[in-house]
Amino acid sequence: MSVNVIFGSDAGATRAVASRIAKRLQGRAVDIKSATTTDFEACSLLILGAPTYGFGDLQTDWETNIDKLTSANLAGKKVALFGTGDQTNYPDSFVDAMGLLYDHVVERGADVVGFTETAGYDYTASKAERDGRFVGLALDEDGQSSKTEKRITEWISRLT
């Protein structure tokens, strides 16, 4: 299985998570700034990761390079998502960016995998929550970093 993990990161937390996931799946971690349309299309599993900024915004590099995602052919492509956020300081927009990416890939016909339960989180609203579950792996590296490794391991086991 070929895996590409495409991410955006400012402070480095999302980059670190993307690298961990890519290493565990023997895949490639690719910064959205240098990603190409081929990086989105030429893999059997595409994983997208983004931190949420401000009050529910996509990270700047994702916003600037969203055309790379929107021009990719994702029809039938197996896609998984992860997001980093801060549920204590931003409880009304926790991992919203993951929900925004979800909407983009679903519009392009992707087969999204890796939904996770919301239990164990303390937030009030999230664009990444659909039908009572997160659309991917939600991580809080600020307040729950001790749970990250276990969450990654459980999530990956459901992707392969």
pLDDT digits (tens, 9 = 90+) for 102-113: 999 999 999 999
pTM of full prediction above 0.75: yes
Q: What are the Cα distances from residue 126, in Å, to 43, 109, 121, 130?
A: 29, 23, 11, 9
Residue-wise pLDDT for 3-12, tens only, equals 999 999 998 9
User: Residue 37 is part of which domain span?
Assistant: 3-159
What's the confidence (pLDDT) of residue 118?
Answer: 97
Phi and psi at residue 107, to the nearest 5°: -60, -25
Q: Confirm or deny that 52 is annotated as ligand binding.
A: yes
Average pLDDT over the chain, rounded to an integer: 96
Is the pLDDT confidence value at 29 over 80?
A: yes
125 labelled ligand-binding: no
pLDDT at position 54, please?
A: 81
CATH number at residue 140: 3.40.50.360
Q: What are phi and psi of 141, to 5 degrees?
A: -75, -15
Residue 142 marked in a binding site: yes
Number of domain units in the chain: 1
* 42 marked as binding residue: no
Bridge partners of 121, per DSSP, are: none
44 annotated to bind ligand: no
95 is in an annotated binding site: yes
Residue 128 annotated as part of some ligand binding site: no
Two structure tokens written together for 40: 């989105």
